[in-house]
Every structure is written in structure tokens, then in C-alpha cells.
Chains A and B, each alone.
Chain A
Amino acid sequence: MAVTNNLKVFKDSAWLGWQMEANWTDPFLFLTYSIVKPIAGTLILVLMYIVVTGGETANAFFSYMYVGNAMYMFVAEVLFGVTWVIHDDREHYMTLKQVYIAPMNFYMYIMGRSAIKIAITSFGVFITILFGVVALDVAIDLTSIDWPLLALSLVLGLASICILGLALGGVSFLTAKHSIGINEGLAGVFYVLSGVVFPITILPTWAESISRFLPVTYWMEAVRRGMEPGVMRELADTSGYDVTGMSNVSDLTIMLYLLISVGVFFALSIGVFRIADYIARKKGKIDWTTAY
């Protein structure tokens, strides 16, 4: 019974998320919007690369960077979306309190809203990778993709992002609606520490140690091994050292690390959410308004 109810909440909140995200304009404009934003974000990195290297994109590091950046969209968009759900429901539509007191699983509500964000972002990620392969020589070979590894890592990775979103949703109860802030910033933490566009080995030792606790680090590694195994091998060979810091770790071990870190973060996120939820109720912040 509980499972049925939770699935219904998930489905309904995903539907609501879709209405909020997509029905503000006609489908063509929405499609354009969904393409322009991620491509532009990627082009920033491409231009930075070109400024330094002079434009040679047919190499392993560029592909490494490009794919990481494309996959990172999931992190950025979901974390952005979850914070926005809380702030928008609370201060704009002023429905957060009604949703909050409804006899349903609030986690499922956030998950449902996040899921639709993932669905929409998937399209952007696909277009970005396609653009990279066609226009920028990103080395993805359909015949060499390790599909089981890619599929499994995608499932676990996306789950980990939703879990992080849950914690962020809780924290958003307690935070004011600043210009934009928390979502962009927290996504930035993962951008730096999770080997998204550069290997974690370039970070200071203390930062690298933190990286090794984050699920997104293992997700990035696993997705790359699944999607572009040739690139990962070439990167290890040409660098002459363990450039990713995980070259000698097997796929199975990486997946195990990912699973464990997802589990730990799941427990942490539930904890953070509950504490934040408790503080929000204690301080009367469930339906406060903070715009200025």
C-alpha cells in the first residue's frame, strides 16, 4: 500500500514538474531552450581549451574534459532544480506548506520533481555529446562502449544526484532566496572536487582526499570508462603517470566504491534533510518569505 502511494506521489509530482518546466512555452521554443543552454555551457570550456592549446580537440584529454562536462549537467540541473522547487513553492506559489502537510512522502515529492529535471536534462546531455562527437572530434565509438558498465553507472550516479538533491532540499528550507546562490555554488563544489573537467590528482592533497569520498567522483570515472574506454586507456598511456588517480583500480572496484559512497550519502542526506526539516519547523521557516 505504502509503495503504491509513494509511486503515485512520485508520478504526480513528476507530472507537476513537467507542467512547471515545459508548458510555459510552445514545444519548439522549449526544445531550443533545452539545447542552447547546455551547448553554451559546454562552449565556455571548449573556448578555454582552444585559447590555451590553439584548437586541437582530437585528443584524449579534450574528450575526457568534454564528456565530464556534459555529464555534469545532471548534477548542476538537478541541484538547481531541487532548490528552486523549495524556494518557488514556498515564496512564489506559496504552496509549500500545503504540500508539506499533505499525508504523503515528501521525499517522493522532491524525487518526482527531480526526476523530471533529469529527464529534461538527459536530452541536453545527449545533444551536447552528439555535438561534441560530430563537431569537435570527441572520441566516442559506439562499438567500443561498455554498455553494462555505462548503464549501471548511470543508474547509480543519477540516484546519487537525487539523493544529494534531497539533502539540498532540506537545507533550502532554512535558506533565504538570494539572487541564486546555493544551487550553483554547491554544484560548483562537485565541479571542482569530482574530477569533472580535470583529474582530481591536480588538486591539493587534502582536496583530493575529499574527492575520494564523493560519489560523483566515482560516477564520473565509471561513466567515462563505460562511454569512452579508449580515451581512458590513452590518457593513462600518454600521461606517463596515474593521471586520474584511479587507473589501476578495476571497473568492479570503482562500481563498488560508487555503491558504497551512494549508500553513505543516502544516509547522510536523509539525516541532513531530517535535521533541516526539524529546525525549519522549530523556527517556523516552512512558509517564510525572504525575497528582498
Chain B
Amino acid sequence: MTESYLLKNLRAVRGRAYPRLIGSTREPSWFIFDVILPLFTIAGYAYVYKFLDARAELIGYVVLGGAMTAFWLNILWSMASQLYWEKEIGNLPLYLMAPISRMSILAGMAVGGLFETTIQAAMTLAIGAIAFNVVFSLASPVMLIVVFVVTMIALYGMGMMFASLYLLLGREAYHLSALMMEPVYFASGFYFPVKHLGFWAAAGASIIPITLGLDALRQIIFPGGTEDAFLSLNTEVALLSGLCVVFMILSRYALRYMEYLGKTTGRLTLRWQ
């Protein structure tokens, strides 16, 4: 790989990330829809715990989980189904015709989406924490950053893989994304410690990076987080790092294969399937 090829691809990443970065600021309605309204779902679950007279950490978990749903929604609706969407609005052929790696387009989407979503999630977390008097106890800021970063790389790697797999889908794309909302909220333990699903179920759900990421984050930022942990923090970080590599490789192969398949069948640029 020559340096110029690398530079070209970095420019492509920047190019594709740009609409994502600028997009939300151009449509200020995102603050209400992506920050304020999700707080109601959080409030719903938090009040359930309150009514059940649950311990304070569980309400904290709900606030954290609710904030993290932004990332999962971003993966489903703005990563996985994005290439399908780009096909429908006519951009996909232009992306595929460009002399750069397709991974750069996906990476651009991911970087832009991650940045935008991190802001949303942080705001949701902050407002939720204030509203429900959530007590944080940050044991290790460095570890927090490490966990967040590996979780996001693995998660967006998974999103890139999904984007490739969705490439040839028609309307199934929308339904598939819709199908992966509640079941994943459940399996990944967005609103309760995942260890309560039982070891094997939790282990199975750990293929979704946010499962381990959430569990690790709970251990780092909540006083009693380690008691609700599924695995030790170090194990989770190691597994998440492994998932980063696995999903990056898989997404690369998936994209190459699906593009080949699309070019063979002629469905790559076929709209309104």
C-alpha cells in the first residue's frame, strides 16, 4: 500500500464523515428527538425499578443503558442499513465507482456516526443522571477510556460488517434492523446486569460488543458494579479487543464478497427492491 493510497483513503474517510458531523447541526431537531425523547424510555424503566424499590445502582444501569441505546440505534439505522439506504437514494454507485477502499466509506460513516452519537449519548447520560440522582464512582478514568474505545471499535466494526451484509437487501433491511432492537436490548442487558440471563445466554450475547462494553462500563463507573459483573474487567477488555479484530476482518471480507455477488447478479445498483 503506497502512502498516497493511504492518504487518499484517509481523505475519503474524512469526506464521508463530514455529512455525519455537520448533518446533525443542520437539523437542530436532533436534540429533541435524539437526546430528550429517549430520556422518557429511560424514565419509564427507572420508575419501574423505583416502584419495585430496587437498589440505586439498577437505576444507574438504566440511565447508562438508555444512553448507550443511541450507539446501537446508530449501528442499526445509520450503519447497517446505510449502504442499503445509499443505494436507494442513488449514492451507492458513486461510492463504489470511486478509486478507494470501500472500507474507507464505511469507516467515514462510522467515525461521523460515532462522534455524533457520542455527543447524544453523553447528553442523555448527563441529563438522566441528574434527573435520577445517579451516583457515579469512577475507579479508573484510563480504563474507562480504554473500555469505551475498544467497545466502540468492535461495535462499529460489527456495524461495518452489517452494512456489507445488508448491501443486497431490499426492504428486509428495515425489518431486520427493527427486529434487532428489543431482542438486543434484552440479550445485551441494556437495562439490567447481563449475568442474570445465566452464563451461557450472556456468553452468547457477548458476540454483540455492547454486551461486554456495558458490563465493563458498569464495573468502572458504579460503586457496586463489580458485584453485578458477568466477567472480570480485564477479561472483558481482552474479549472486546478480540472482537475488534474479528469484526474488522469479517467486515472487509463481507464487503468484498457482497460487492462481488451484487455485481454478478446486477442487484448492487437496483433500487426499490
Contacts and interface: CB of A to CB of B under 8 A. Distances in A.
Interface of A: 20, 24-25, 33, 36-38, 40-41, 43-45, 47-53, 61, 65, 88, 91-93, 174-176, 178-182, 184-186, 188-189, 191-192, 196-199, 202-203, 289-292
Interface residues on B, range: 35 or more
Given A202-B51, A291-B89, A191 B186 contact: no
B172 A24 contact: yes
Interface in B184-223: 185-187, 189-193, 196-197
Contacts, number: 149
B269 interface: no
A289 B23 CA distance: 12
Interface string B81-102: 0000100110000000000000
B52 A191 contact: no
B37 interface: yes
B175 A44 contact: no
21 contacts: A40-B182, A47-B197, A50-B196, A51-B54, A52-B53, A175-B29, A175-B33, A178-B34, A179-B70, A179-B74, A179-B77, A179-B117, A181-B37, A182-B33, A188-B44, A191-B40, A192-B40, A197-B48, A198-B50, A202-B50, A292-B24
B21 to A, nearest CB: 9
Nearest to B77: A179
B228 to A, nearest CB: 9
Contact of B186 (A20, A40, A182, A184): A40
Given A49-B52, A181-B37, A40 B185 contact: yes
Nearest to B178: A37
Contacts of A88: 174
A41 B189 CA distance: 12
A52 B34 contact: no
Nearest to A182: B33
A88 B175 CA distance: 13
User: Which of B32, B58, B117 has the most chain A CB within a 10 Å cutoff?
Assistant: B32
A40 B183 contact: yes
Nearest to A176: B27
A175 B49 CA distance: 33
A290 B40 contact: no
A194 B187 CA distance: 27
A25 B182 contact: no
Contacts of A93: 272
Contacts of B70: 179
Nearest to A83: B33
Contacts of A92: 85, 88-89
Contact of A188 (B41, B117, B178, B191): B41
B48 A198 contact: yes
A40 B183 CA distance: 5
Given A45-B48, A51-B193, A290-B27, A25 B175 contact: yes
Given A24-B175, A36-B183, A52-B54, A203 B47 contact: yes
